[in-house]
Amino acid sequence: MNHEMKDPVYVTDALIAEDIDAYLLKHQHKTMLRFITCGSVDDGKSTLIGRLLYDSKMIFEDQLASLENDSKNVGTQGGEIDFALLVDGLAAEREQGITIDVAYRFFATDKRKFIVADTPGHEQYTRNMVTGASTADLAVILIDARQGVLTQTRRHSYLVNLLGIKNVVLAVNKMDLVDYSAERFYDIVADYSHFAKQIGMDSFLPIPISGLKGDNIVSHSDNMHWYQGPTLLGHLEQAPVNDAQMQDHPFRMAVQWVNRPNLDFRGFAGQIGAGVVRPGGAIRVLPSGKTTTVKSIVTFDGDLDQAVAGQSVTLTFADEIDCSRGDVIVQSDQPCEVADQFEATLVWMAEQEMLPGRPYLLKIGTQTVTATVTEPKYEVNVNTLEHLASKTLGLNAIGVVNISTDRPIPFEAYAQNPDLGGFILIDRMTNATVAAGMIHFALRRSQNIHWQALDVNREAHAALKNQKPAVVWFTGLSGSGKSTIANIVEKKLHALGKHTFLLDGDNIRHGLNRDLGFTDADRVENIRRVGEVAKLMTDAGLIVLTAFISPFRSERQMVRDLMAPGEFVEVFVDTPLEVAEARDVKGLYKKARSGQLKNFTGIDSPYEQPQQAEITVNTVDLTPEDAAERIVQYVLTRMS
Amino acid sequence: MNSQSVIETGGQVATLTHLQRLEAESIQIMREVVATADNPVMLYSVGKDSACMLHLAKKAFYPAPPPFPLLHVDTTWKFRAMYELRDRAAAEAGMELIVHHNPEAMEKGINPFDHGSLHTDMWKTDGLKQALSKYNFDVAFGGARRDEEKSRAKERVFSFRSANHRWDPKNQRPELWKLYNTRKGKGESIRVFPLSNWTELDIWQYIHLENIDIVPLYFSEPRPVVERDGLLIMVDDERFRLREGEQPVMKSVRFRTLGCYPLTGAVESTARTLPEVIQEMLLTTTSERQGRAIDHDQSASMEKKKQEGYF
């Protein structure tokens, strides 16, 4: 056993042995604090967490035995107890000697239960730190007293501030290695204050500690009489938690689930995000804006007189008004905003970079909508905090973008209410969570554009032409025969008296889209514009034929979603690469192979085949004429 | 938790207690699943964590009964008292109870005496996969907690499994705020752990406070046991094979964890009430899983088991 270890203070609660009922009563009134520790392995983060677990008796004898064993075999403390080993979890990480994910640890004192999010410190793990910080009431930023404020200290502080954590502890660690010098400590604090001001951090609490030796962790250090502030654990025990702070805010609850066990009961279940609710309280349902009053707050334990931020409850209303999952119930006289365009900060979390214009799913509160993202206004260098120009965001990048959603959503600025201002973006094809976002404000223009109610509507346009509008979307490799077949189809439909229009590379790339190149991001934007134009043309009653490679499934899906059900007819012109390349009508494959042409689909840029195209034509077996005839028949059939 | 305990500082801002906060979080997780899943199920193993999870489910959907069935992946070797509570608890909650037995294990007569780790592999790991596939469940609630074991400290609340039920620790989704990404591809499924942030003490305290029905085996009583390989094993029925020289003796014992009775070690104890059990837990010095034979071998063994589909 390490001779430097002090007796754990929180173990010996005599009440446990003497009066267990009194002990339980006391512990039943404990509160809970979630915090994150930021710092790298070198700052002694794992050691500090191990120390907190140890001092609060969260390590059992058998774990201690295996810890002592591991310390000898793989420890970094020369055979002495290596607290860091308690904390590092996955096998791969233990071998590499670093933590690479978010791990949650638990310990408790008489006053509080604690959940610690332990996240890695290096830049390549920014997303992990952001994840851990998103649920934290408080952050402990560790500094090695020998090193002072480093680049990574600034990065961690920036992220903590970005995620809106108001309670920050600056733990100046390894004081034992600088002779417990007050001067050194105050130098670091002065240095950090200067930086904190720069990033807009309102306040922080500096504490000099030694995780290894236990100074100022649980009890005041005999080595630093010059420090009179709280110990680390002392402060953790009394710092305020977010839910309690959100009670001062107007009432907000996102509806998770509508509870309808029978015809006599209709309740709206959710976790209160902010404020307080009481029966009789006047509320408003957003985005509809309908108002009523709360009839009762229903729980398994009986109806409540009031419920506060953080509680999961079920509300019933005095009137039967529409309300479903995704809606937000708010205090009637202090509703939140509703909008469909925002400025937001994004933290990109996926290997594939962000594609401006590509539709992603956006989950905020309890609702999921489709959203597109603009090019970043700027990207933030997390080390220097400089703003950089950027076309996209890669893994771990942070940037400010505009976002537009396919319908108006109730929200609040993240800084005011994280519950209605924080969101995630999901890739629609892989279902991966690709970004975390924080709303700043709604764009003015989203409040000013109103849909003009048209007297001559799309039905009227189509009726006059005596046809059902459609988009016949040809997709396939370059040289597969899309334009050739589309041309024949248009001639045939025209001959039958149908009103048609063909959009292809020639009339689009030279005009509307001549500012776009062939990067993935530009290809996405190209298709988005074509989709919007095609949609306007269907509103005008036309049968639109389009001939674009359109290599990505996501964008074809985006266009499909723009159209009314059944109006999008995907035609996969299925020509093997060898065949298309052998044809090489425009000589493009030759150029691409020789490297003169970059980002060429099929050569150095991917083509994602349709999985459920309405029509697939195989140009090896079918003549263009036969293929066109099949497509014409399909279009005519769906009209009858 | 009743309304009186919510506001403790009369008019002032009140801070929810740790159990209130944990309860609210678990309920939020369960509702999120029900609102987004096609065909959810709750895995029910009759232990104290299952009891707690079932109780939370009743709260989450009250006044409706929990809108999903309970699934018990049975090995036929559980304690008799567990089967009694299982049937009673499901009936009281107004929920359908599905009991699955791996037909292959049944046919081969797989048992803890002859088949070692194959017993767990076939009855539990394979049995669970079979049941999920058979009924097409896309989301399964489990009672695992992050404090149980080191590799679980990093487990997500929503844990994704491939179409063949494997867990890929490198490919888990980040979980921010309480915004769970519940989307999945064809054939993929999700294990959801609403008790992730509870500790063993939280569970006991909640059971005490809420008066939740648990298997009496958690309380001390004179029971017939034999000492075998350092564990006290209870002779729960006539299938127990006594080795030469073994003779069951009556001892006051209780169980800290429940599984197949021939594989579960009892501890000698005098704790006959819940407070006494908690007291004993707080004063003892061995961690919970010590009583189970499964992960003694090496620290990383649970992580391996999990990759293969063990819960």
pLDDT in tens, B269-278: 999 999 998 8
Task: Tell me the average pLDDT across B64-73.
Answer: 96
Supply the pLDDT for residue B6.
Answer: 36
CB contact under 8 A, B60 and A312: yes
CA gap A93, B166 in Å, rounded: 20
CATH number for the domain spanning B51: value is: 3.40.50.620
CA gap B47, A284 in Å, rounded: 43
CB contact under 8 A, A271 and B28: yes
Supply the pLDDT for residue B136.
Answer: 92
For residues A81 and A147, state if they share a domain. Answer: yes
Please, which residues have CB within 8 angstroms of residue B160's CB and are 6 or more apart in sequence? B167, B168, B171, B172, B173, B184, B188, B189, B190
Task: Provide the 3-class DSSP secondary structure of residue A21.
Answer: helix
| Under 8 Å between Cβ of B151 and B101 | no
Helical H runs in A239-391? 242-245
CA gap A466, A427 in Å, rounded: 39
Task: Tell me the whole-structure pTM to 2 decimals.
Answer: 0.78
Count of CA atoms in the C-beta half-sphere (13 A) of B97? 20
For residues A60 and A197, state if they share a domain. Answer: yes
| Under 8 Å between Cβ of A177 and A150 | no
Provide the number of structural domains found in chain B. Answer: 2
Please, which residues have CB within 8 angstroms of residue A467's CB and are 6 or more apart in sequence? A498, A499, A541, A543, A639
- On the 0-12 / 13-18 / 19+ scale of CB atoms within 10 A, A390 is middle
For residues A307 and A385, state if they share a domain. Answer: no
> Which of residues A414, A447, A480 is at a domain's end?
A447
Chain A interface includes B307 (CB < 8 A)? no
CATH number for the domain spanning A305: value is: 2.40.30.10
Q: In B, which residues are within 8 Å of A243 by CB distance?
A: 15-16, 21
Task: Tell me the average pLDDT across B178-186.
Answer: 91
Residue B307 domain-assigned? no
CB contact under 8 A, B63 and A261: yes
Chain A interface includes B27 (CB < 8 A)? yes
Catalytic residues of A: 550
Q: Which chain A residue has the Cα nearest residue B64?
A: A261
CATH number for the domain spanning A60: value is: 3.40.50.300
Residue B305 domain-assigned? no
Supply the pLDDT for residue A40.
Answer: 67
Residue A121 domain-assigned? yes
For residues B57 and B189, state if they share a domain. Answer: yes
Pick from A81-95, A285-299, B69-83: least confident: A81-95
Task: Tell me the average pLDDT across A156-184.
Answer: 93
For residues B192 and B223, state if they share a domain. Answer: no
Chain A interface includes B23 (CB < 8 A)? yes
Interface size between A and B, measured as CB pairs under 8 A: 204
Q: Mean pLDDT for chain A?
A: 86
CA gap B306, B168 in Å, rounded: 9
Quick one: pLDDT band at residue A49, thresholds 50, 70, 90?
A: confident
Sign of the dihedral through C-alpha B267, B269, B271, B276: negative
Q: In B, which residues are within 8 Å of A89 by CB distance?
A: 150-151, 153-154
Q: In A, which residues are within 8 Å of B28 by CB distance?
A: 256, 271, 312
CB contact under 8 A, B174 and A20: no
Task: Tell me the average pLDDT across B283-297.
Answer: 49
Alpha-carbon distances of A175 from A4, A221, A430, rounded to whole Å? 15, 11, 48
For residues A482 and A443, state if they share a domain. Answer: no
Residue B73, pLDDT > 90, answer yes
Give the distance from residue B103's alpha carbon to the nearest chain A alpha carbon, in angstroms.
34
For residues B202 and B228, state if they share a domain. Answer: no
CB contact under 8 A, B153 and A127: no
Q: In A, which residues are within 8 Å of B275 by CB distance?
A: 20-21, 24
For residues A46 and A110, state if they share a domain. Answer: yes
Strands annotated E in A412-549: 422-426, 433-442, 470-475, 500-504, 543-547
Task: Tell me the average pLDDT across A195-222.
Answer: 90
Supply the pLDDT for residue A205.
Answer: 95
Sign of the dihedral through C-alpha B31, B32, B33, B38: positive
For residues B174 and B34, state if they share a domain. Answer: yes
For residues A380 and A322, state if they share a domain. Answer: no
Task: Tell me the average pLDDT across A281-288.
Answer: 92
For residues A216 and A289, state if they share a domain. Answer: no
Q: Range of A301's domain? A: 245-331
Supply the pLDDT for residue A369.
Answer: 95
Quick one: pLDDT band at residue B187, thresholds 50, 70, 90?
A: confident
For residues B282 and B265, state if they share a domain. Answer: yes
What long-range pairs does A500-503 form, CB within 8 A, spacing at least 24? Answer: A500/A542, A500/A543, A500/A544, A500/A545, A501/A537, A501/A542, A501/A543, A501/A544, A501/A545, A502/A544, A502/A545, A502/A546, A502/A547, A503/A530, A503/A533, A503/A534, A503/A544, A503/A545, A503/A546, A503/A547, A503/A548
For residues B154 and B279, state if they share a domain. Answer: no
CB contact under 8 A, A244 and B146: no
Task: Provide the 3-class DSSP secondary structure of residue A295.
Answer: strand
Residue A453 domain-assigned? no
Supply the pLDDT for residue A451.
Answer: 45
A12, A101, A428: best to mutate for the B interface, most B CBs within 10 A = A101
Give the distance from residue B256's alpha carbon to the nearest chain A alpha carbon, in angstroms.
15
CB contact under 8 A, A127 and B15: no
Provide the number of structural domains found in chain A. Answer: 4
Residue A545, pLDDT > 80, answer yes
Residue A4 domain-assigned? no
For residues B199 and B246, state if they share a domain. Answer: no
Quick one: pLDDT band at residue A27, thresholds 50, 70, 90?
A: confident
Q: What DSSP designation does B176 have?
A: B
For residues B181 and B224, state if they share a domain. Answer: no
Supply the pLDDT for residue B163.
Answer: 76
CA gap A491, A233 in Å, rounded: 80
> Which of residues A416, A447, A478 is at a domain's end?
A447
Strands A307-308 and A276-277: antiparallel
Percent helix, strand, coil in chain B, to 5, is: 40, 15, 45
Residue A472: phi and psi, rounded to 5, are -100, 110
Higher pLDDT, A251 or A30: A251
Sign of the dihedral through C-alpha A85, A88, A89, A94: negative
Task: Tell me the average pLDDT across B42-63.
Answer: 95
Q: Which tokens go with B213?
A: 């029905």
Residue B8 domain-assigned? no
For residues A126 and A226, state if they share a domain. Answer: yes
Pick from A435-449, A577-591, B188-202: least confident: A435-449
Supply the pLDDT for residue B299.
Answer: 40
Which residue, among A221, A235, A244, has the nearest Cα to A168 in the 3D structure? A235
Residue A5 domain-assigned? no
Strands A312-317 and A290-298: antiparallel
CA gap A190, A194 in Å, rounded: 6
For residues B281 and B178, state if they share a domain. Answer: no
Q: What percent of chain B has pLDDT over 90?
A: 51
Residue B32 host element (H or E): helix B18-36
Quick one: pLDDT band at residue A429, thresholds 50, 70, 90?
A: confident
For residues B187 and B107, state if they share a domain. Answer: yes
CA gap A22, A638 in Å, rounded: 76
CB contact under 8 A, B181 and A433: yes
> Which of residues B175, B206, B237 is at a domain's end?
B206
Alpha-carbon distances of A467 from A490, A530, B38, B94, rounded to whole Å? 15, 22, 39, 55
Supply the pLDDT for residue A151.
Answer: 85
Give the distance from residue B120's alpha carbon to the nearest chain A alpha carbon, in angstroms.
23
CB contact under 8 A, A307 and B6: yes
Residue A473 domain-assigned? yes
ipTM: 0.86
Residue B308 domain-assigned? no
Residue B218, pLDDT > 70, answer yes
Residue B310 domain-assigned? no
Beta bridge partners of A276: A308
Task: Provide the 3-class DSSP secondary structure of residue B92.
Answer: helix
CA gap A132, A104 in Å, rounded: 9
Chain A interface includes B15 (CB < 8 A)? yes
Task: Tell me the average pLDDT across B134-159.
Answer: 85
Q: Range of B29's domain? A: 17-206
CB contact under 8 A, A24 and B150: no
Residue A162 domain-assigned? yes
Preceding peptide of A287 cis, ω within 30°: yes
Residue A156 host element (H or E): helix A151-162
Residue B12 domain-assigned? no
First to last CA, chain A: 86
Give residue for tokens 């005011």: A416
Residue B309 domain-assigned? no
Alpha-carbon distances of B203 from A271, B90, B214, rounded to whole Å? 21, 20, 12
For residues A128 and A141, state if they share a domain. Answer: yes
For residues A224 and A177, state if they share a domain. Answer: yes
Residue A9 domain-assigned? no
CA gap B20, A313 in Å, rounded: 12
Task: Tell me the average pLDDT across A335-358.
Answer: 91
> Which of residues A240, A257, A280 is at a domain's end?
A240
Quick one: pLDDT band at residue B298, thresholds 50, 70, 90?
A: very low
For residues B64 and B142, state if they share a domain. Answer: yes
Chain A interface includes B98 (CB < 8 A)? no
For residues B101 and B225, state if they share a domain. Answer: no
Residue A605, pLDDT > 90, answer no
For residues A293 and A382, state if they share a domain. Answer: no
Q: In B, which residues are within 8 Å of A436 by CB distance?
A: 174, 176
> Which of residues B206, B226, B248 is at a domain's end?
B206
For residues A46 and A153, state if they share a domain. Answer: yes
Residue B300 domain-assigned? no
| Under 8 Å between Cβ of B267 and B255 | yes
Supply the pLDDT for residue A10.
Answer: 39
* Facing residue for B3 by CB, picked from A70, A304, A423: A304
